Structure 1
């Protein structure tokens, strides 16, 4: 089977535009040329790609399956082009960082901002992954740093604790517990509870604490970030237990953050692989992270 890029490009464009005429205009070639490319592709794949409905070409079910693969492949090519352009522009001055969602809206952007002040010519890439295990795997493969809420157990990693925050109970304004100086687990019995997603290790620690206390909550909502949890609380959907700085929680309108009585803390941990040599920009980023600890 010999499929050419021109055939694929014509196929994708006809799917998008719905007609050979418009596809020819987009591609800058003649209508017969587009039709010939589609016919040649059908001959190669061995099935019909389009059915005519009035003046519109409707993709067959097989074509719909194929175009999904085509779009994914073209997206991969676009990523390669962007990476090549970045390498040409920045050379090896490239930092890669992967984090869980909790730190993607607050901590990591602040670190990247400080990094940009030191390395304005460098490219920085931040990826967001749902759970700690995936973050650790990506750092073991090719990322410079990872940030999660736990120190990795794998001895091939080294780590730095950036923050060790207290745990707070977040309530909507006007909640009957809002006058308390300290909230206990039993105060939240049968309350509608907003949690971190189930793959979060911190969520596991919170759930284990409530289970040990024998306190039942109504587990109605869950989301990925502290910010999103607090926004749901502010809309009156429930209460939550989160790890964050008190000043940050107080900045979110509609919420009240009260100390929560539990032997829990919420860490932000930067870690990296000891198996891979540091680049110059990675060294700079680590120094920035170390300075951020003393600044806090």
Structure 2
């Protein structure tokens, strides 16, 4: 066993504090009573153990072990220090265990669901990366209408769903992923294309592309225009923000949309303007209220959050 290479220390250099390795040596010596045994436990040479002990004693200004018949007997000071170190090393062990758990590939099955826009425009790359990181994991991914998600999660048919609807169901609990505000999408050559902000009164009589009534935001939007006394001319109702954006691109009218997750697609042929008053959107994870989330579910949620810009 080779001694650890250490740079020489000049006599005029003053060391500040002590190292984790020296504290590990102290604990090993308290538990074994022999420098040779402590060295084997720590993967060090016996001289390295003796040197670490000498440096620690010099730093603390006290003798930590008495030499008696070939054994190192801890003094009261050594025992007191070792007792204080118990909680520190326990915490380090928990951190190391969590890190090891993260490194281990997850197994089993993860059942996910999302409405079409999130399912097609946001989740595929995240699911692909998660399965690459966990090759032994099977993922079942379903595309469901927003109103079916809550029931499916409540019944534990799916472990996790992601939606920008706001379900009112006792069987699910929500955890926020992202908060956004609605934008107004208009064709590039539209009269409103150069306006900085769009308000309800600006859309009086405008051809309007609306999401279907099953969307939770639809009712809030209808109430907003009713309070403003503005009549829109709805030319088409559509089920997804993606299709609504395409109808805007084709010049059929304007639309008020959640920019997540299609903001990067609202470029060619479309101008996106802030809309006031603000219409908030909350994109959230849905989980069964009847049971705690599994480690796999929590790991996917963490990975999804980490993937956001």
Cα distance per residue 1:203-244 (max 9 Å; x no partner): 222112111111111111121221211111000111100011
Tell me, yes or no, if structure 1 residue 281 matches structure 2 residue 265: no
CA distance in structure 2 between the partners assigned to 1:139 and 1:264 by the alignment? 26
- CA spacing shift, 1:249–1:261, aligned 2, 3 Å: farther
Match of 1:268 in 2: 283
Higher-Rg structure is 2
Query: Which residues of structure 1 form unaligned runs of 5+?
Result: 1-90
Q: Which residue of 1 aligns with 2:154?
A: 140
Tell me if the contact between 1:96 and 1:125 (Cα under 8 Å) persists in the aligned partners: yes
Deviation at 1:105, TM superposition (A): 2.2
Note the C-alpha offset of 1:245.
4.7
TM-score scaled to structure 2, two decimals? 0.60
The match for 2:206 is: 191
Contact 1:139/1:145 (8 A) holds in 2? yes
Alpha-carbon shift at residue 154 of structure 1 (Å): 3.4
**Which of these residues, 139, 158, 165, is aligned with residue 173 of structure 2?**
158
- Per-residue CA shift, 1:237-269, capped at 9, x if unaligned? 111000115982565421110111123112211
- Does residue 203 (structure 1) correspond to residue 218 (structure 2)? The answer is yes
**1:163: how far off?**
1.3
Distance 1:249 1:169, change over 3 A: farther
What is the CA distance between 1:151 and its match in structure 2?
Answer: 4.3
Q: How far apart are residue 119 of structure 1 and its match?
A: 1.7
Q: 2:197 aligns with which of 174, 177, 182?
A: 182
Q: In the TM superposition, what is the alpha-carbon distance from 1:177 to its structure 2 partner?
A: 0.7
| Match runs of 1:238-277 below 5 Å | 238-245=253-260, 248-249=263-264, 251-277=266-292
Task: Give the distance between the partners of 1:120 and 1:181, measured in 2 at CA.
Answer: 48
Please say if residues 96 and 126 of structure 1, whose CA atoms lie closer than 8 Å, have aligned partners that are also in contact.
yes
Q: Which portions of structure 1, spanning 4 or more consecutive aligned residues, are displaced by more than 6 angstroms?
A: none
8 Å contact from structure 1 (residues 151, 159) kept in 2:
no
For the aligned residues, what is the CA RMSD? 2.4
Q: How far apart, in 2, do the equivalents of 1:219 and 1:284 lie?
A: 43
Q: Aligned runs of 1:202-241 on 2, under 5 Å?
A: 202-241=217-256
Please give the alpha-carbon distance, in whole angstroms, between the structure 2 residues aligned to 1:125 and 1:276. 19
In 2, Cα distance between the equivalents of 1:110 and 1:185? 36
Distance 1:291 1:265, change over 3 A: same
Could you tell me how far apart the structure 2 residues matched to 1:198 and 1:247 are? 20
